[in-house]
Chains A and B, each alone.
Chain A
Amino acid sequence: MKEKILNSEEFKRLVKSKNSISLILTVLELFIYFGFILLIAYNKEFLGQKIFGPVTVGIPLGIGVIVLSWVFTGIYVAWSNKVYDEKVSQIREKIGGE
């Protein structure tokens, strides 16, 4: 039974979709954080520009990295709760356990 599940297209698709989501979101997170760091290293002038009165571009950008990181975790949870768990429970039913 275990072999059958492991070799089923369904299970392979499940593993693949989950790994893809994880990979895409990890790359996005790396991109925004290291992008922010490199921007500070190479383009301080851009970040130092004023937008609202004394507020510089860097402030919403820095806070944006924090907020966006949280949003990414939200996207992952939403996807997992909606799509992933559904498929997992189908597979669990097939195995007949729990």
Chain B
Amino acid sequence: MQTVLGQPTLTGIFFFLLFVAATLYITYWAAKRTRTTAEFYAAGRSITGLQNGLALAGDYMSAASFLGIAGLVSLKGYDGLIYAVGWLVGWPIVMFLIAEPLRNLGKYTFADVVAYRLKQRPIRTAAATGALITVLFYLIAQMVGAGSLIKLMFGLPYEVAIIIVGCLMIAYVLFGGMLATTWVQIIKACLLLGGATILVFLTLYKFGFNYIELFSSVTSKYGDKFVQPGGLIKNPIDAISLGLALMFGTAGLPHILMRFYTVPDAKEARKSVFYATGFIGYFYILTFTIGFGAAALVGHEIISKIDKGGNMAAPLLAEALGGEIFLGFLAAVAFATILAVVAGLTLAGASAVSHDIYVGVVKRGKADEKQEVKAAKISTLCLGLLAIILGIVFKGQNVAFMVGLAFAVAASANFPALFMSIFWKKFTTQGALASIYTGLILSVVLIILSPTVWVDIFKNPQAIFPLKNPGIISFFGSFIAGIVTSLLTREKEAEEKFESEKIRSYVGIGAE
């Protein structure tokens, strides 16, 4: 099979420029509506549940999960599905435990909720640290992935790709704030869901719309093993550890949590998770089908020849079924996907710096609107430039572990403190600090000592910590540290506030 993958095609460039023009126009439109802090961080709380559901999906579905999972399925078959399931199951948790109280109690960041009845400055410092570390690791992984993907698809040099991505994301966030970011994410979600749907439609068309035919074709080529669980889960404890990180990490991702402030009330927040879960679940089922389609119609040989990890399975399938035009479209969609995710991350990171650290800690909560928006814009610019620099510094490095680490930190440093501050009356400032820092330190240290970094990156013969993901230790460790410390240090004021907070948390009175 001949492929134009890796060369800039006219259609690819056309669709890409169309996307850039449309999103920059939106940014221009949004810039006029982005003056106050509520507008910059939360799009003036004007987004509907359906729109936010799409934006959440756009914020969450990364190029790695589209191209990566399709590739994993195309090469490993069933094991790819197991992996995809793990990326979805955190969403119901977000809804049942976090979304509504977060919306009712907070303003712009999840640190607002953790600090609600505890001592502002130490808590904001700790929570913002957890948020920033999560965002930075996730951002590095996205930038490095973006550089290599764009190089593979368009043949652009790595550094050029990183700079284009970085500058566009800075432009969206800096000028258009949350409103522009939201619409970039909504457009991306529609493009990605639409593109994947067409790809699945074309695949199934080849098999007479019969899944059994598709599976038969694959098993006759690669044997029955392909539709059975293989080697992905060898050690059940390792699998549970990763599962905990994915599940509770989703409920601790700052850029996801921040999106709940863009809707007018808790009811819309809850609705938006329902839509998001539906879109993301549908998307993973499509990705699974695309992986099988690529295995059947493109074949392992070509897929792994172009990229060892199989990342190009979906684009290759697009080219095989829809020619150069569809490949160009899909390549532009992958570009859009990257941009939407990094824009969301940058905004979340910038708000941790400006809203929590600068206004909450340095200014002790005393800053006017103008000052805060200015601080947020400066943070956006710095974080964006940092992302570009880190993307270039980490060129060619194996950064796959960073996503796992981001989820482990989110599940261990961010989620437990957020959860306990919402539901546990006796939670204290000291308890929250113990929980956040324990989760943070355990997840970072243990992942360095784990096979993922200690063996795969530092090339040591044997790992000091046996599990690939520290989730099981850091998640429970953070809870234990938080509970024990809270029981040892009583905070009367916080307990009293907990009672009155209930009306705001459950009924929404006083919510911003």
Contacts and interface: CB of A to CB of B under 8 A. Distances in A.
Contacts of B273: 73
B92 interface: yes
Interface string A59-70: 100110111011
Interface in B261-295: 267, 270-271, 273-274, 277-278, 281, 284-285, 288
B285 A66 contact: yes
A83 interface: no
B382 interface: no
Interface in B454-512: 499-500, 502-503, 506-509
A53 B215 contact: yes
Main secondary structure of the interface of A (DSSP, over half): helix
Contacts of A40: 82, 229, 232-233, 239
Contacts of A38: 236, 240
Interface string B88-103: 1101110111000000
A19 B425 CA distance: 14
Contact of A67 (B91, B211, B239, B281): B281
Contact of B228 (A44, A52, A53, A70): A44
Main secondary structure of the interface of B (DSSP, over half): helix
A63 B509 CA distance: 40
Interface string B66-99: 0000000000001001101110110111011100
A64 to B, nearest CB: 10
A33 B89 contact: yes
A76 B215 contact: no
A54 B212 contact: yes
Contacts of A21: 96
B368 to A, nearest CB: 27
Contacts of B281: 66-67, 69-70
Which size bracket describes the interface of A in this complex? 35 or more
Given A44-B228, A72-B92, A74-B274, A66 B284 contact: yes
A54 B228 contact: no
B405 to A, nearest CB: 20
A28 to B, nearest CB: 9
B475 to A, nearest CB: 13
Nearest to B210: A53
Contacts of B509: 92, 95, 97-98
A55 B229 contact: no
B241 to A, nearest CB: 10
Contacts of A36: 82, 85
Give 8 closest A-B pairs by Cβ, nearest first. Answer: A48-B228, A41-B236, A54-B219, A54-B215, A22-B96, A33-B89, A66-B281, A62-B81
Interface of A: 2, 5-6, 11, 14-15, 18-19, 21-23, 25-26, 29-30, 33-34, 36-38, 40-42, 44, 47-48, 50, 52-56, 58-59, 62-63, 65-67, 69-70, 72-74, 76-77, 80-81, 85, 88, 91-92, 95, 97-98
Given A55-B211, A73-B95, A77-B271, 15 more contacts: A5-B503, A11-B503, A14-B506, A23-B96, A25-B96, A30-B247, A52-B212, A54-B215, A54-B219, A58-B78, A58-B227, A62-B85, A65-B85, A66-B281, A70-B277
